[in-house]
Structure 1
């Protein structure tokens, strides 16, 4: 399996090279698959920095920067933020973190995101974690959690499942063909799921380099 050590290091906005060759793990899973909880566990146990594309976009909007205003306007108009914009935010966050191990959560959302990320950064993920969960279970979890999310109603939930399947499954298939996907049965209780995650990240497994 190709490792991140084989690819070029990322550049920051000033063009200077980062000497670290970062380890990138993409984290994918449907809404309610529990990937957020598992990301927290990975950070705590294995020292990764967690980057969420959605959080970075929201933070940029909140900052009031010119870039943030452009992002906000695009979202208001129902347009998709260009991949390059999201990737530059991810790249900048990687630079600023000082770490060399990253969990990128909920990205790439589709094949175009994936191709753009590799083209812009020169980085391929070492592993793609796919939290595979039955739709009925994800539905049950989303409806029962109390986070005050207005989008957690049955109709919206089903639309989100459909979008996830249509957009993300091709990404998972692509990385499966490269032997990078680690599929985890996320229907089980949190502790059992994390046991499977630990087996992937533990140094003895040699699966994440």
Structure 2
């Protein structure tokens, strides 16, 4: 179900959008696959973390508040992140969005649906073992201070405790598309493509294949 959402917390807009939540642990390859989906299927990629960082960089009053909360080790309220996502959706000319790394927990999920009136079309879940994610994070060289074994394991624990209830909630509604993210990047994207290809296109492809073989 896709509904209208409120602009600036009051006036409703009738813009209809299709939203896909992209979830997976640190090192599951979400970013790489989101870039592929954008290129092949025309979605706009929204990262909650990137939006928060951009707001801080803008020097706005809101950005300063976010920065201070992060400095003090406080969790940025769901409403703040949701308003940034909402604004990004409203200001973009596209009508299909990948929301990456959000909702992080059940409270995020409930608040997003309550504030925006939007339910995701589905949740793309990159399923990957802790061992494989750990190996990838330790191998990659992005100069991230948090890519050490102890911090990686803490991040994984937080992800498991907070994100899995969200996945379970949507799974009960039949909205989770699980991808085996432990495979090579190309194979993972083949599985992703199968999720995003409309059934009519799959039928056409099968029909052409049949004629060719004939």
- Using structure 1 for the length normalisation, give the TM-score: 0.93
Q: Do residues 163 (structure 1) and 158 (structure 2) align?
A: yes
- Deviation string for 1:161-207 (max 9, x for gaps)? 0000000000000000100000100000001101111011012279x
- Deviation string for 1:61-93 (max 9, x for gaps)? 110101001101111111000000000000000
Report if the CA contact (8 A) 1:129-1:182 is conserved.
yes
Report if the CA contact (8 A) 2:6-2:115 is conserved.
no
Q: Structure 1's 205 and 187: CA in aligned 2 closer, same or farther, altered over 3 A? A: farther
Report if the CA contact (8 A) 1:133-1:187 is conserved.
yes
| Alignment partners' CA distance in 2, 1:24 and 1:189 | 26
Compare CA radii of gyration and give the structure with the larger one. Answer: 2
- Deviation string for 1:111-135 (max 9, x for gaps)? 0000000000000001101100011
Report if the CA contact (8 A) 1:199-1:205 is conserved.
no
Counterpart position of 1:31: 26
Among 123, 136, 141, the alignment partner of 1:141 is 136
- Using structure 2 for the length normalisation, give the TM-score: 0.91
Residue-pair matches, total: 201
Residue ranges of structure 1 left out of the alignment (5+ in a row): none
Report if the CA contact (8 A) 2:47-2:100 is conserved.
yes
